[in-house]
Structure 1
């Protein structure tokens, strides 16, 4: 009996023992590297210190990293403002400068001097000045147990006050974001430059080689990079675009290594990962796997097939829809791979097992029962309440708003709402002015393609969304007037709506005013868009919002409980578009039985894939000639021209364009994708399968120099052929640090020590 009791206790102890953090998992806050990661990173081969990576007392690697636009990362690679990111991150800008006559998408673009560099209105490059833990200030005077809506209102007020005080009297911006579902808050002080010009981009046959066929796949042979330049005013500070602006002189830029990359080499990704959800309960993962992903995959596949047909039939349409198609396709394929990975990992089962351990831990203490006892049952109740709601929401976003005409009509729905609700005249006039900015929409719009999308996607909506969640106007119109014929409905809407051409819009706007909205209210596209919008607002959004708010509170408690239970585990917060560090190593992998991938690809693989009849695999004649002559300059390795390599870094969307940095603080490549088997890492990391895909710096420089002949750009860079003995020579101290920032650094370090204790 005694032996049995001991065995039971040992088994319980084993169940509750936290699993060690899985190798290479994590998106870590640069501010906390000293406390959490420095020792491990150095054991793996890193020769830098945490201070070399993130510091506000002196120049550090963080001073070379930028948030590029709203959703990618870039890095400074010269002392003259030269910025490197992905071709697909700059694709919208490249497309905006392209036409049938100047097809930079197909032919590439290279500015051979500064006067040829192309401005990009609205494009920004944002640097991080410093980070600060502001949890105590944000949660000050907020009692526990406060209803979520009231809590959020107080949190928002505190955040606004803290942000305002932090940047008062400066040209900086401040942003505070929640971490661990609101258990912690960190503030980012940023400096944003608004004059960012296109410098160079390879042709799509290099920058998109493999296209949709190879997207999310390994082996990969894509030169996915583009060059921009950040410009500043005469004081080296941000300034609006002006011809006389000067290239920005960064505090730090990354030297570029040409050393051969070996398996097991240390790698560090420094960038702005967009969104992960590593701590979701099993109910949420099941909903994603069984409901959301299958619906979104089917909708996007239908739309992609239609757009592909129209793009192949017309070069003008191809250019119009190039960026849109790439964007739609990207996550379509990602969701397919994510579901495959979740199934392979038995993610739902693993989550359920963790929840069993959590329940046992909670039940072992009355205090824990009082605090965490209802968390899992509340999750179950909330997700059950979303039955039919989540699917309807996904269809509204992907199918209804996936029709460009209905998406565009939303602006008119909002305008009519302002008028009918008697909003301030200034707000009405502002929205009316916005309606006048229609040229951008029609520049990249094709009526025939969108009309076919309308009929196809709304047919899917009608079939798949539960009838009780569909708008009555839509169902009655389709069933009674058009006898279920969505093609006939599309023909009628597109022929009668004024929103299908710039000329009709111009005529309509001449009649529309703050007191005259009749022309809008009788438009068939407006009527349908309003029906869908009101249906969403009344039948879908309220239930979804209530469940989401409740789950936010539950997630906060659940994660707090997991951190309390697993005391030996290092927790990292989910990605939320804030600056993070991920580290790992160069490594091949075995994605499935009998398949083994090596860790790098070469130009030889490009030639093996070459197919002149397949747009995804067409090879530029000059690239073929360079390969034939083995004319690789200084950029080859042992007679080979490396193209891409893979590593075990934990990355996600937003890490596109992130620098991949070696043990010495030098650029070894630019992150641009994940292997298909890795896409489930947004929800659950698996060290055996997760691999990020990187275009090798050698290939980037080879294309710039030998292919494009833009050697003037190479001369700007610091090329490292042999690593210096003391790698920290790469990080030079900044000449001066404002006293205010020094105080902030000291104050933050004190907080970190207190939290660690």
Structure 2
């Protein structure tokens, strides 16, 4: 299951919509302060108490880039997935020393290397600020609502975290605006790579096995948090437990699911099905094709483009699965039935009906505007620059210069005082830039913008002038100096004066392009975002009024917990066992990509315990962003790390199916076996065993 590192704007098409009834069975991505204790106790005869929940919350880690993780030693050691650190491994690699191919297994802590742009965050408190935010919004609508909401959020975040060196605050909207909560994090901005297997071991089976099971993937890695040049002390960590899972045992995932939007309406589902996916899925497909063609026959391009290609392939497969779920007649009919049930119950309650009005009708009216504005908003604002790192740098510099001249409460989200430290870190950390890939990404965005918005559109004319997409991309990439972090830092610190004085062609291009992007953003907020927030708040009132507090909010890349058990399923009448073992890896290997056996596993064949459980599945409810989430046993120990879901999990974007939805996990037993005989590392083994 891919992380969130692929540009979030293009993933707008991942809007996912779900059942509107109360949660049932093992469904639910629950906030840590609202765990359904009684509901779980009825199913399993046991549920964790507050002390248990507090312990795992203190050990849970959120990683920038869209992944989850956990502390597993008292010296800042972090367990996550290989695919969550792949960009770090790529950044540390060279043509001469390719850690993607060979893996990274440092002998000492001194050899653990910094991951550019990475930050680890641990939730320290969650506060309900709903009354404050709603009071500030008042009766505002449209753009005024967005401005009032963003202003009070900026104030709350700044007041909540005065020490921005070690803390970060985020106000998060839950239930589409029905609730607002302030999350406070202890942050660690120096995160280093402590161990990673080879890519072939981590992603054995490649795209054919992605979102499938059985799996034989060593999709695990270790990071370490540092502060003042030393590993941080983390007494609140999970106990490493390298044992095999037992069929039927209770399991928990604690992580940061990215985005589900399970509470949207039939109208919004129709928009995703009929507008978003038919546009975005072909974009993924075409970019995938361009990448493969550009990389073919060129080993260095194959190496430097592989990270983006993996993300594109993962997202393409996921988006296709989401779209397929919406077009499945039985699945869609069930969702429609759930909404009809909610609307009927609201209509039958005169007081509730008077309170909420008709938010469904309001969303239908908003939908007309959404459809009119979507293409402009997608290509000019949310997809601006495509996947170009250089364009992102330039836009961040230009917007930061403009926004920092405004009072904190009037800035765009992402540029407020609470957000600036991470933004500056992401901007100024050294990252490798590959010009060929930058040109390809920029040219792709420019060509598709011209195709979808049409050549004669004024905004397209201002973007391209008399140049071709390919020629303009080549000129900008060859002329810019933004690949140098010192140049980026100087422009960021110099503010608008430095930006306007810059002769950098990419900075000047973004200065020109940003006017149209900002204009469509303002219109989108006034006609879509603001009115939708009002309707969503009413929908939340409707659900609370009908179902009480038996609801969980949509995923928001904030800390959640789900419970489930180790359990297989039936695939078209054939039972799928819940575990795989090392022996299956060797049986599955064919010698041809993507089933070519990693060389280090071939060499260690005689030493490996073939009966060791490799991967396993559980009924835990997860989604993208949960990658790296610790899978925790009843005793609070970690027995695995979630790294994927089966193909049915994609429908979980819209509604959880306890019969078919499964989380795919790499077992701690497999990681321990790898550390013992495949990538011998006595240092890490002693640390994990607390010796």
Which TM bucket (shorter chain)?
0.7 to 0.9
Confirm or deny: 8 A CA contact 1:405 1:500 kept in the other structure: no
Alignment partner, residue 606 of structure 1: 585
Q: Mean alpha-carbon deviation: is it higher for 344-353 or for 90-99?
A: 344-353
Q: How do residues 591-630 of structure 1 correspond to structure 2 at under 5 angstroms?
A: 591=571, 593-614=572-593, 616-627=594-605, 629=606
Q: In the alignment, is residue 666 of structure 1 matched against residue 650 of structure 2? A: no
* Number of positions where the alignment pairs a residue of Structure 1 with one of Structure 2: 655
Alignment partner, residue 434 of structure 2: 445
CA separation of 1:205 and 1:551: change in aligned 2, threshold 3 A? same
Out of 134, 141, 144, the residue aligned to residue 147 of structure 1 is: 141
Corresponding residue SS for 1:582: strand
Q: RMSD over aligned Cα, in angstroms?
A: 4.1
Alignment partner, residue 89 of structure 1: 84
- CA displacement, residues 261-306 of structure 1 (integer Å, 9 cap, x when unaligned): 2332211001122222010011111111222122211111111122
CA distance in 1, matches of 2:484, 2:681: 44
Corresponding residue SS for 1:604: helix
CA distance in 1, matches of 2:251, 2:623: 16
Out of 16, 32, 35, the residue aligned to residue 34 of structure 2 is: 32
CA separation of 1:130 and 1:303: change in aligned 2, threshold 3 A? same
- The TM-score, its normalising length taken from structure 2, stands at 0.83
CA separation of 1:40 and 1:711: change in aligned 2, threshold 3 A? farther
- Give the Å deviation of 1:450: 5.0
> Which runs of no fewer than 5 residues in structure 1 stay unpaired?
1-17, 232-238, 483-488, 633-638, 721-757
Confirm or deny: 8 A CA contact 2:322 2:651 kept in the other structure: yes
Corresponding residue SS for 1:631: coil
- CA displacement, residues 336-374 of structure 1 (integer Å, 9 cap, x when unaligned): 111122333645433433343343333334433433232
CA separation of 1:665 and 1:519: change in aligned 2, threshold 3 A? closer
- Give the Å deviation of 1:659: 0.2
CA separation of 1:515 and 1:461: change in aligned 2, threshold 3 A? closer
- Give the Å deviation of 1:393: 3.0
Confirm or deny: 8 A CA contact 1:295 1:395 kept in the other structure: no
Q: In the alignment, is residue 473 of structure 1 matched against residue 452 of structure 2? A: no
Q: How do residues 321-470 of structure 1 correspond to structure 2 at under 5 angstroms?
A: 321-344=305-328, 346-396=330-380, 401-402=385-386, 404=388, 407=391, 410-411=394-395, 414=398, 443-447=432-436, 449=437, 451=439, 458-465=446-453
Corresponding residue SS for 1:90: helix
Confirm or deny: 8 A CA contact 2:21 2:342 kept in the other structure: no
- CA displacement, residues 82-119 of structure 1 (integer Å, 9 cap, x when unaligned): 21111011111111111111111100111111222112
Confirm or deny: 8 A CA contact 1:406 1:526 kept in the other structure: no
Alignment partner, residue 699 of structure 1: 670
Alignment partner, residue 553 of structure 1: 534
Alignment partner, residue 17 of structure 2: none
Corresponding residue SS for 1:581: strand
CA separation of 1:117 and 1:463: change in aligned 2, threshold 3 A? closer
- Give the Å deviation of 1:20: 5.4
Q: In the alignment, is residue 631 of structure 1 matched against residue 617 of structure 2? A: no
CA separation of 1:406 and 1:630: change in aligned 2, threshold 3 A? closer
Alignment partner, residue 113 of structure 1: 108
Q: In the alignment, is residue 684 of structure 1 matched against residue 686 of structure 2? A: no
Confirm or deny: 8 A CA contact 2:242 2:672 kept in the other structure: no
- CA displacement, residues 507-550 of structure 1 (integer Å, 9 cap, x when unaligned): x99999959969959x6x78876776544444575146421211
CA separation of 1:570 and 1:121: change in aligned 2, threshold 3 A? same
CA distance in 2, matches of 1:46, 1:286: 40
CA distance in 1, matches of 2:666, 2:462: 48
CA separation of 1:316 and 1:277: change in aligned 2, threshold 3 A? same
CA distance in 2, matches of 1:91, 1:330: 14
> Which runs of no fewer than 5 residues in structure 2 stay unpaired?
1-19, 408-414
Q: In the alignment, is residue 565 of structure 1 matched against residue 543 of structure 2? A: no
Bigger radius of gyration among the two: 1
CA distance in 1, matches of 2:363, 2:308: 36
Q: In the alignment, is residue 589 of structure 1 matched against residue 577 of structure 2? A: no
Alignment partner, residue 96 of structure 2: 101
CA distance in 2, matches of 1:444, 1:538: 30
- Give the Å deviation of 1:598: 1.9
Corresponding residue SS for 1:575: coil
Confirm or deny: 8 A CA contact 1:471 1:531 kept in the other structure: no
Alignment partner, residue 194 of structure 2: 199
Confirm or deny: 8 A CA contact 1:389 1:544 kept in the other structure: no
Corresponding residue SS for 1:54: helix
CA distance in 2, matches of 1:173, 1:457: 33
Confirm or deny: 8 A CA contact 2:143 2:525 kept in the other structure: no
CA separation of 1:557 and 1:705: change in aligned 2, threshold 3 A? same
- CA displacement, residues 47-79 of structure 1 (integer Å, 9 cap, x when unaligned): 663223333xxxx12221111234211111122
CA distance in 1, matches of 2:338, 2:499: 60
Confirm or deny: 8 A CA contact 1:274 1:578 kept in the other structure: yes
- Give the Å deviation of 1:406: 8.4
Q: How do residues 172-183 of structure 1 correspond to structure 2 at under 5 angstroms?
A: 172-183=167-178
Corresponding residue SS for 1:177: strand
CA separation of 1:212 and 1:154: change in aligned 2, threshold 3 A? same
Alignment partner, residue 224 of structure 1: 219
CA distance in 2, matches of 1:157, 1:397: 21
CA distance in 1, matches of 2:140, 2:482: 54
- Give the Å deviation of 1:504: 11
Alignment partner, residue 240 of structure 2: 256
Alignment partner, residue 746 of structure 1: none
- Give the Å deviation of 1:137: 4.4
Out of 576, 599, 622, the residue aligned to residue 556 of structure 2 is: 576
Alignment partner, residue 23 of structure 1: 25
- Give the Å deviation of 1:253: 2.0
CA distance in 2, matches of 1:505, 1:583: 46
Corresponding residue SS for 1:471: helix
CA distance in 2, matches of 1:258, 1:406: 43
Corresponding residue SS for 2:101: helix
- Give the Å deviation of 1:191: 1.2
- The TM-score, its normalising length taken from structure 1, stands at 0.76
Alignment partner, residue 731 of structure 1: none
CA distance in 1, matches of 2:429, 2:75: 35
CA distance in 2, matches of 1:537, 1:502: 25
Confirm or deny: 8 A CA contact 2:381 2:521 kept in the other structure: no
- CA displacement, residues 142-167 of structure 1 (integer Å, 9 cap, x when unaligned): 58534365555555555455555555
CA separation of 1:564 and 1:494: change in aligned 2, threshold 3 A? closer
- CA displacement, residues 305-337 of structure 1 (integer Å, 9 cap, x when unaligned): 221233343232233223222233322211011
Alignment partner, residue 295 of structure 1: 279
Confirm or deny: 8 A CA contact 2:145 2:530 kept in the other structure: no
Corresponding residue SS for 2:40: helix
- Give the Å deviation of 1:469: 6.1
Confirm or deny: 8 A CA contact 2:676 2:682 kept in the other structure: yes
- CA displacement, residues 555-594 of structure 1 (integer Å, 9 cap, x when unaligned): 1101210220224x71001111221111111121235x34
